[in-house]
Structure 1
Amino acid sequence: MRIAFRVDASNSIGTGHLMRCIELANTLIDVNIYSVFITSEDALSKSILETSELKFITLDTLTLDTLTLEQDAIQTKRILHSEKIDVLLVDHYQVNLDWQSHVKAKNLIIIDDLANRPHLCDLLIDTSDQQKLELYKKLTKHNCECLIGPKYAIIRDEFLTSQTSNIEYDIFICFGGSDPDKYTFSSLKTLAKKSYTGKICAVVGQGYNGFSLLQIWVKQSNLNIHLFQDPNNLAQLMAQSELIISAAGSMLFEAASLAKKIIMIKTDDNQIDNIKLFLKNQAALESDIINLNDVIIEIKNTKINLTQYSKKLCDGQGKFRISKAIKRLMEKNSNLKEVNRCK
Structure 2
Amino acid sequence: MSNANAPKLIFRADGGAKIGLGHIMRCLAIAEMTGDLFSLSFAIQQPSDAVRHILAQAAFDLISLPETADSAADARNLRAHLTGDEFVLLDGYSFGADYQKTIKRHCRKLIVVDDLVAWHQYADVVINHGGTIQAAAYQSESYTQFLTGTAYALLRKPFLEAGIHRSEEALTTFQPRRVLVNLGGADPDNISHRVVEALLSEPLVQQIVIVLGAANPHGDSFARYAEERVQIRRNLSPEQIVTVIQSCDVAVVSCSTISYEVATVGKPFVGILTADNQAILRTFYKDNHIALGVLEKAFTNSELWSTMSLPVSTVNNSLARQYQFFDGRSGERIAAFFRTLLPA
Q: Normalising by the residue count of structure 2, what TM-score does the alignment of the two structures yield?
A: 0.86
CA distance in 2 between counterparts of 1:121 and 1:194 reads 50
1:15 has 2:21 as partner: yes
How far residue 171 of structure 1 moved from its aligned partner, in angstroms, is 1.2
Is the contact between residue 116 and residue 277 of structure 2 (CA under 8 Å) also seen in structure 1?
Answer: yes
Change (3 A) 1:303 1:161: closer
Q: 2:235 maps to what in 1?
A: 230
Q: 1:118 maps to what in 2?
A: 120
Is the contact between residue 168 and residue 240 of structure 1 (CA under 8 Å) also seen in structure 2?
Answer: no
1:48-87 equivalences in 2 (<5 Å): 48-61=54-67, 63=68, 65=69, 68-81=70-83, 85-87=85-87
Is the contact between residue 169 and residue 240 of structure 1 (CA under 8 Å) also seen in structure 2?
Answer: no
How far residue 330 of structure 1 moved from its aligned partner, in angstroms, is 2.6
1:282 has 2:289 as partner: yes
How far residue 191 of structure 1 moved from its aligned partner, in angstroms, is 1.6
CA distance in 1 between counterparts of 2:151 and 2:79 reads 32
Is the contact between residue 159 and residue 242 of structure 2 (CA under 8 Å) also seen in structure 1?
Answer: yes
1:84-99 equivalences in 2 (<5 Å): 85-99=85-99
Q: Identify unmatched segments of 5+ residues in structure 1.
A: 336-343
Is the contact between residue 10 and residue 40 of structure 2 (CA under 8 Å) also seen in structure 1?
Answer: yes
How far residue 110 of structure 1 moved from its aligned partner, in angstroms, is 0.6
CA distance in 2 between counterparts of 1:235 and 1:146 reads 29
Q: 2:152 maps to what in 1?
A: 152
Aligned Cα RMSD in Å?
A: 2.3
Alignment deviations for residues 24-56 of structure 1 (CA, whole Å, 9 cap, x no partner): 1122123x3121111110313323212221011
How far residue 300 of structure 1 moved from its aligned partner, in angstroms, is 5.5
- The amino acid of 1:108's aligned partner reads L
How far residue 99 of structure 1 moved from its aligned partner, in angstroms, is 1.3
CA distance in 2 between counterparts of 1:29 and 1:168 reads 39
User: SS of the residue aligned with 2:216?
Assistant: coil
Q: 1:37 maps to what in 2?
A: 42
Q: Identify unmatched segments of 5+ residues in structure 2.
A: 1-6, 168-174
1:107-146 equivalences in 2 (<5 Å): 107-136=109-138, 139-146=139-146
CA distance in 2 between counterparts of 1:164 and 1:126 reads 25
Change (3 A) 1:219 1:198: closer
How far residue 59 of structure 1 moved from its aligned partner, in angstroms, is 0.3
CA distance in 2 between counterparts of 1:192 and 1:241 reads 16
% identical equivalent positions = 22
How far residue 195 of structure 1 moved from its aligned partner, in angstroms, is 4.4
CA distance in 2 between counterparts of 1:131 and 1:79 reads 33
Q: Which moved more, 1:142-151 or 1:206-215?
A: 206-215
Number of residues of Structure 1 aligned to a counterpart in Structure 2: 319
Find the partner of 1:184 among 192, 198, 208: 192
Is the contact between residue 249 and residue 268 of structure 2 (CA under 8 Å) also seen in structure 1?
Answer: yes
User: SS of the residue aligned with 1:116?
Assistant: coil
CA distance in 2 between counterparts of 1:321 and 1:307 reads 23
Q: Normalising by the residue count of structure 1, what TM-score does the alignment of the two structures yield?
A: 0.86
Change (3 A) 1:164 1:214: farther
Alignment deviations for residues 103-126 of structure 1 (CA, whole Å, 9 cap, x no partner): 223311110011111121011110
User: SS of the residue aligned with 1:79?
Assistant: coil
How far residue 169 of structure 1 moved from its aligned partner, in angstroms, is 6.0
1:156-167 equivalences in 2 (<5 Å): 156-162=156-162
Q: 1:313 maps to what in 2?
A: 325
Alignment deviations for residues 265-304 of structure 1 (CA, whole Å, 9 cap, x no partner): 1001111111211222211121243121221113657365
